[in-house]
């Protein structure tokens, strides 16, 4: 079922139309995410869930890891990480969701893309959180570099790859004139 | 780039290019700080009624000297790390180098130019956010409640969305003929 766009947006170039819809969705979803109800009902529970899963993985790798709420701590070095809003992969997921919804494709293709893409982004985010915990135990400067720069780029690359693979998987568009 | 195999080859090239690009950015990127800092001072002073006296460029951060007095006869200063807002630039450079489109030099230059407004935006709202917390009197008089809310939203965009998205979007847009169908 093709998703149509009514009104003046039809008059725009497809790339411009994509950018306009993508930007509007991104801004709307991101601002919605910052509102107290979204924080209370969506973001915080999701952050807690990410912390819970990260704790399970970290304890699987090192059973001595102490998990208290959203904090993972090493009893030897006393290094710990606390998963807070901003560490939960929600912003990356919003970017991917906005890019998929904005691109002209069927509802089913968008739905499948969003579900699979969200799993891919959140899966890598779990790797990010757990790896940062172990990197921090080893070296604080390495933790800072990985936390502030390297993992940010890797998550973004993940979003881009998922989106490009999704584009490749879409059926070729039929030429209306042909 | 017509098939999935080419996409993975492009990805492998991105991974290879991102390392030297990151190194270049890490060691040379701060050369852009004076320009980004001056831009940020302009933005902050428009919003903040001339609250910034000057900006000093240090080895690891920008220091904004305000006109707000603190105890002991000094003035409030605010530090900001420009790298937090510019890490997307080397990533975008790697995306373009991996695609190697025609006219690569001007495309790379365009990506580098995004660094200045990007850092200026992030640093502007970083500094304004610090001022909102550190100087409630100034906030109430100059920004008001809606202004402070706008600063919070601008900071969230400037720290979580724009640093990665803007350079990547510019790079993908500039390489679309190669990356697209």
Residue with structure tokens 């080895």?
B59
CA-to-CA dists, residue A172 to A1, A37, A99, A168, B152, angstroms: 14, 40, 18, 9, 42
Give a yes or no: residue B91 inside a domain: yes
| Per-residue pLDDT tens over the stretch B3-25 | 667 888 888 999 999 999 999 99
Chain B residue numbers with beta carbons less than 8 Å from the beta carbon of A153 are: 18, 22, 87-88, 90-91, 164
3-state secondary structure of B55: strand
- DSSP secondary structure string, B118-133? HHHHHHHHHHHHHHHH
Chain B residue numbers with beta carbons less than 8 Å from the beta carbon of A172 are: 181
Whether pLDDT at A7 is above 80: no
What pairing do the DSSP bridges indicate for beta strands A71-73 and A66-68?
A: antiparallel
3-state secondary structure of A77: coil
What does the alpha-carbon distance between residue A140 and residue B175 come to, in Å, rounded to a whole number?
37
Give a yes or no: residue B94 inside a domain: yes
Give a yes or no: residue B132 inside a domain: yes
Give every residue of chain B whose pLDDT is below 70, as ranges: 1-4, 178-181
Which of the four pLDDT bands, split at 50, 70 and 90, describes residue A3? very low
Question: Would you say the pTM of this structure is higher than 0.90?
Answer: no
pLDDT value for A168: 87
pLDDT value for A41: 93
Give a yes or no: residue B68 inside a domain: no
pLDDT value for B180: 60
Q: Which domain holds residue B91?
A: 4-48+82-179
Chain B residue numbers with beta carbons less than 8 Å from the beta carbon of A150 are: 22
pLDDT value for A147: 93
Total structural domains in chain B? Answer: 1
pLDDT value for A174: 54
pLDDT value for A108: 95
CB B51 within 8 A of CB B77: no
Q: Give the chain A residue nearest B95 (alpha carbons).
A: A157
Helix runs in chain A, H state only:
14-34, 36-38, 44-61, 90-102, 107-138, 140-145, 151-169
**Do B165 and A152 count as a contact with CB atoms less than 8 A apart?**
no
Domain boundaries, chain A: 13-169
pLDDT value for B115: 80
User: In the sheet that B52-57 helps form, which strands lie side by side, from edge to edge?
Assistant: B52-57, B62-69, B75-80
CA atoms within 13 A on the CB side of B28: 9
What does the alpha-carbon distance between residue B78 and residue A49 come to, in Å, rounded to a whole number?
35
Helix runs in B48-161, H state only:
88-99, 104-134, 136-138, 144-156
User: In the sheet that A71-73 helps form, which strands lie side by side, from edge to edge?
Assistant: A66-68, A71-73, A80-82
Whether pLDDT at A53 is above 90: yes
Judge residue A95's burial from the number of C-beta atoms within 10 Å of its C-beta, 0-12 exposed, 13-18 middle, 19 or more buried: buried
Which of the four pLDDT bands, split at 50, 70 and 90, describes residue A176? very low
ipTM of the complex: 0.81
Q: Mean of the pLDDT values across residues A9-31?
A: 84
Residue A148 C-alpha, separation from nearest chain B C-alpha, in angstroms: 6
Give a yes or no: residue B67 inside a domain: no
Give me A43's structure tokens: 């973001």
For CA atoms B151, B152, B154, B155, the dihedral sign is positive
């Amino acid at each position: 079922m093709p998703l149509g766009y009514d009104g003046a947006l039809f008059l725009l170039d497809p790339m411009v139309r994509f950018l306009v819809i993508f930007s509007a969705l991104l801004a709307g979803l991101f601002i919605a995410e910052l509102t107290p109800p979204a924080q209370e009902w969506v973001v915080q529970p999701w952050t807690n869930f990410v912390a819970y899963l990260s704790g399970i993985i970290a304890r699987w790798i090192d059973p001595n890891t102490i998990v208290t709420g959203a904090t993972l701590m090493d009893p030897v070095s006393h290094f710990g990480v606390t998963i807070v809003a901003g560490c939960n992969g929600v912003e990356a997921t919003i970017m991917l969701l906005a890019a998929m919804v904005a691109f002209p494709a069927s509802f089913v293709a968008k739905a499948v893309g969003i579900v699979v893409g969200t799993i891919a982004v959140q899966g890598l985010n779990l790797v990010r959180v757990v790896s940062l915990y172990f990197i921090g135990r080893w070296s604080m400067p390495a933790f800072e570099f990985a936390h502030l720069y390297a993992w940010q780029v890797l998550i973004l690359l993940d979003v881009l790859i998922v989106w490009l693979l999704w584009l490749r998987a879409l059926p070729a568009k039929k030429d209306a004139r042909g | 780039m017509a098939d999935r195999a080419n996409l993975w080859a492009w990805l492998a090239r991105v991974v290879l290019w991102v390392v030297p690009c990151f190194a270049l950015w890490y060691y040379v990127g701060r050369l852009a700080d004076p320009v980004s800092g001056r831009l940020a001072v302009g933005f902050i002073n428009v919003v903040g009624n001339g609250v910034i006296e000057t900006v000093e460029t240090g080895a690891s951060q920008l220091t904004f000297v305000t006109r707000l007095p603190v105890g002991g006869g000094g003035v409030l200063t605010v530090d900001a790390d420009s790298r937090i807002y510019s890490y997307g630039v080397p990533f975008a450079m790697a995306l373009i180098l991996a695609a190697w489109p025609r006219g690569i030099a001007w495309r790379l230059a365009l990506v580098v130019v995004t660094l200045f407004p990007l850092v200026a935006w992030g640093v502007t709202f970083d500094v304004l956010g610090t001022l909102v917390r550190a100087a409630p009197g100034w906030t109430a008089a100059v920004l008001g409640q809606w202004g402070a809310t706008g600063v919070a939203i601008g900071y969230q965009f400037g720290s979580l969305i724009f640093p990665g998205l803007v350079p990547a979007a510019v790079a993908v847009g500039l390489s679309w003929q190669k990356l697209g169908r």
